[in-house]
Structure 1
Amino acid sequence: MRVAILSAIHPGGEGSGAATRGLLTVAGRSVAALQLDLALRLGCERIVCLAEGLDEGVLPLLHRAEQGGATFHALSSARSLSGLVRAQDELFLFAEGVVPDPLVVGELLGERSGIIALPAEPGIEAGFERIDRDHAWAGVARLPGSAVERLVEMPFEVDAVPALLRVGLQTGTRIVPLTPSLVSDRRWALLRDEQQARAFEAAWLNQRVTLSSFAAPVHALADRAAMVLAPGVLAQRGKAALPIAGGILGLGGALAAAWWKLPPLAFGAAALGTFLLRTGETVAAFLSEGRRSGIVARVTRVLPGLAVDAIILALVGMLAPVGELADWLFGGLALLLALRIAERSQVESLARAASDRGTLALVLALCAALDQTLPGIQILVLAVLAAIYLARGERG
């Protein structure tokens, strides 16, 4: 059996109100919860958390372990481990506050015992504990279960994880080197206080999504709104659907406003709906953490854009004066096709700007407010075609 040992004991900062290191949050989830997910991915069937008790910070770990098919034990004493771990078991140790890269841990420790270590100098600078002249422990180790038997020889109040690490070193467990660039790139960290947790959280989120530039203003604002919302959404994943639902309502409101012949309101509601849809897409990217691939992922990426284009074209048709439907639909279709071509441009700023339907809807709302919707569409078609021509000239 594989057994994971986590900790949530030591204070993460000064003051009585400071959270323990293991319960510092990253994107709405505690460090211990991230470690637990990694332990489940590694095949651990028993999770042991060293903590003062089963309080509100530790209780979610129990529920997550049970959802993952593992048993969970909260212990206040290292001595109690002897009844839960057998000599033939495999131990996965996690230092309190360490947030490792799951894929790297799987590669380094998936098959054999080992102690993951950094070179001493960069490791100590990053806050990791020196274990010998040349190495600092990177916060993750895999040891044989027999190491627990040595705990009975140690003082009752001994800190279990460092004690087991020392046993592993004394028994000759191999050192597995970790590339220091993983730490400098914020893919692996040891968090000791709230300030470090927030800095790592920002890097963690940025690694999962590339924020749009302000060449596409509505997309850029939506992506940054998603960054603000991400911690709360990741903590309570049921909230993830709210921006998408809001976007659908906004687009539905746009169709209703067009039905009632309110052009500025129709395009304004479409802009709001597009903003919320983009926010929801970015939040979904945080949730997926890059795991989606294949046909489903491609359809998921393409479908919202096609739906928004269809609604914008429908708005143009619904708002067309009597007898001018063909002219308006032709203009709207020409504009959308020109934008689709521009999206494929090798000039990034043009491609991003052309993909931003929220900004397009705002421009059309302004044109509608001036009662110049069709001339505005025609001017936009010419402007986009000119931009495509100039971009190709620059490339040539």
Structure 2
Amino acid sequence: MLAGLIFATDDADDRPGTLAATLPFGGLTLIEFQARLLVGAGVSQLLVVVARLTPELLGAIARIGRRGASVDVVRTAVEAADKLHPLARVLVMADGLVTTGDVLSLLTEEGGDALLTVSDHDAAPGFERVGAETAWAGLARLDAKRVAEVAMLPRDYDFQSTLLRVAAQGKAAHIRLPAALSGGAHGIERDSRALATRGTLMLAVLVSKPVVWADRYILAPLARLALPPLMARTVPSVAMAAAGVLLGLGALAGILFETASIGVALSIVAALLFTIGAALAWLRDEEPLAAFQNLAIPGLAALAALLLGHVTSMRDGTATGWTLGIALVVAAALSERAARPGGKRRWWGSPVAYLLIILPFTIAGMPLVALAAAASYAAITLAAAIEGFREKP
């Protein structure tokens, strides 16, 4: 059983009387974002350690409870030990910690007590020292008995610091935080302005993950440029989704009325809007909207390819356009299906990559060549995916 322990006791540095855990973070509160990461990592029980309950914290805890995990509020180590199953493994998250799912995954694997650490030279403000040259990076995986050991100590001891000391004295393993994995988004923040900056970095991490060249080198950089002003103006993620849908419909209309190059270009811009909107929706806990936009990108690319083939076949009086459009969509869909998790290569095709291949040929007035080139690219990608699957089943 995997349990989560979140500390929410310290006040914000720039907002006296406001808990740092309840500061806004991308449309949520910070503690809701932390809980999302833990639930996503497989946690079924959440314990929130508090010093006092505020209306903002109560509201956040109520919303966390709707995510499917049980949520208990505790004030002391004694209460926490009573709530935890004796055999539970506990993921501990420091007060005010901002991190990513990739960083958290370092501690979700099987194993004994472990502390996420950084060198003292690289330690961010708020990281507690656990050695002469080592600092705790705010995450730990501990046995429930460590909490029970803290419960046996005097109650006036600081729960978080004491738990860390007990784990360190118990020879917990140290897992180094890879700098490249966090993307600069990992740290402890109790200042609302600094937390807003962390939110922007978090979004940059979210949109920089793609491996395939088209998404990584074209969509992701443009999305990173657009996200900070959108976050600053609190643009609703549903507005980005609506803009993407409207632009996508305009793209399909452009292809239908035989302005294929404009239609394909608009499809690429719509994919960019969906990428930005999906990142915003994910951070704001709007998962259905994020899932819709992630699916809208391949859906729009498929419709654009099929419609381009249809228009070309109707114009030429042959079935070539239909055949190439269907072949492209089928090969692209199968290559996505055949790709192993984490097994994609930089040069492989993607929905946006196929649109980028199609665009210059449609500008030159050669839609059949455009579809043939994209379909060939999809077929090569499919062959590579199948070969990779055969080599490493």
When normalised by structure 2's length, the TM-score is 0.60
Q: Distance in 2 between matches of 1:100 and 1:121?
A: 19
Q: Which runs of 5+ in 1 are unaligned?
A: 290-297, 319-324, 341-345, 365-375, 386-396
Match of 2:184 among 182, 186, 191: 186
Once the two structures are TM-superposed, the CA of residue 6 in structure 1 deviates from its matched residue by: 1.0
Per-residue CA distance 1:280-334 (angstroms, 9 max, x = gap): 2564578799xxxxxxxx998755323213334555678xxxxxx439999x89x
Q: Distance in 1 between matches of 2:279 and 2:9?
A: 33
Q: Does 1:99 align with 2:108?
A: no
The 1:114/1:198 distance shift into structure 2, 3 A limit, reads same
Q: Distance in 2 between matches of 1:104 and 1:347?
A: 26
Contact 2:248–2:267 (CA under 8 A) maintained in structure 1: yes
Q: Distance in 1 between matches of 2:316 and 2:181?
A: 60
**Partner residue, 2:167:** 168
Q: Distance in 1 between matches of 2:271 and 2:125?
A: 39
The 1:271/1:200 distance shift into structure 2, 3 A limit, reads closer
Q: Does 1:305 align with 2:306?
A: no
Per-residue CA distance 1:240-286 (angstroms, 9 max, x = gap): 85355334432454478x3xxxx77x975665455224422564578
Once the two structures are TM-superposed, the CA of residue 8 in structure 1 deviates from its matched residue by: 3.0
Q: Distance in 2 between matches of 1:225 and 1:200?
A: 11
**Once the two structures are aligned, what percentage of the paired residues are identical?**
18
**Partner residue, 1:72:** 71
How do 1:127-206 residues align onto structure 2 when only pairs under 5 Å count? Answer: 127-141=126-140, 142-143=142-143, 144=145, 145-150=147-152, 153-155=154-156, 159-170=158-169, 172-181=170-179, 185-186=183-184, 188-193=186-191, 194-195=193-194, 196-198=197-199, 200-206=201-207
How many pairs align?
335
Contact 2:237–2:280 (CA under 8 A) maintained in structure 1: no
Amino acid at match of 2:73: A
Q: Distance in 1 between matches of 2:175 and 2:304?
A: 50
Q: Distance in 2 between matches of 1:115 and 1:220?
A: 34
Once the two structures are TM-superposed, the CA of residue 379 in structure 1 deviates from its matched residue by: 12
The 1:54/1:114 distance shift into structure 2, 3 A limit, reads same
Contact 2:207–2:220 (CA under 8 A) maintained in structure 1: no
Equivalent position SS for 1:356: helix
Q: Distance in 1 between matches of 2:9 and 2:235?
A: 21
Q: Distance in 2 between matches of 1:182 and 1:225?
A: 20
Amino acid at match of 1:71: S
Q: Distance in 1 between matches of 2:252 and 2:220?
A: 23
Per-residue CA distance 1:165-189 (angstroms, 9 max, x = gap): 233345x242323145357743643
The 1:310/1:168 distance shift into structure 2, 3 A limit, reads closer
Q: Distance in 2 between matches of 1:123 and 1:225?
A: 27
Per-residue CA distance 1:175-224 (angstroms, 9 max, x = gap): 3231453577436433343335145325423432479889x98x689745
**Partner residue, 2:270:** 276
Q: Which runs of 5+ in 2 are unaligned?
A: 284-293, 330-345, 374-393
Contact 2:183–2:201 (CA under 8 A) maintained in structure 1: no
Q: Distance in 1 between matches of 2:325 and 2:46?
A: 55
Q: Distance in 1 between matches of 2:166 and 2:262?
A: 66
The 1:284/1:185 distance shift into structure 2, 3 A limit, reads closer
Contact 1:23–1:30 (CA under 8 A) maintained in structure 2: yes
The 1:317/1:220 distance shift into structure 2, 3 A limit, reads farther
Amino acid at match of 1:154: R
Per-residue CA distance 1:10-39 (angstroms, 9 max, x = gap): 34442459x744345555454423432343
Equivalent position SS for 2:129: coil
Q: Distance in 1 between matches of 2:79 and 2:347?
A: 63
Once the two structures are TM-superposed, the CA of residue 107 in structure 1 deviates from its matched residue by: 4.6
Equivalent position SS for 2:47: strand
Equivalent position SS for 1:377: coil
Q: Distance in 2 between matches of 1:72 and 1:55?
A: 16
Q: CA RMSD in A?
A: 5.3
Equivalent position SS for 2:128: coil
**Partner residue, 1:208:** 209
Equivalent position SS for 1:111: coil
Q: Distance in 1 between matches of 2:221 and 2:102?
A: 32
Match of 2:316 among 307, 320, 326: 326
The 1:302/1:134 distance shift into structure 2, 3 A limit, reads same
Amino acid at match of 2:274: G
Q: Distance in 2 between matches of 1:30 and 1:72?
A: 16
**Partner residue, 2:378:** none
Bigger Rg, which one: 1
When normalised by structure 1's length, the TM-score is 0.60
Amino acid at match of 1:168: A
Contact 2:78–2:148 (CA under 8 A) maintained in structure 1: no
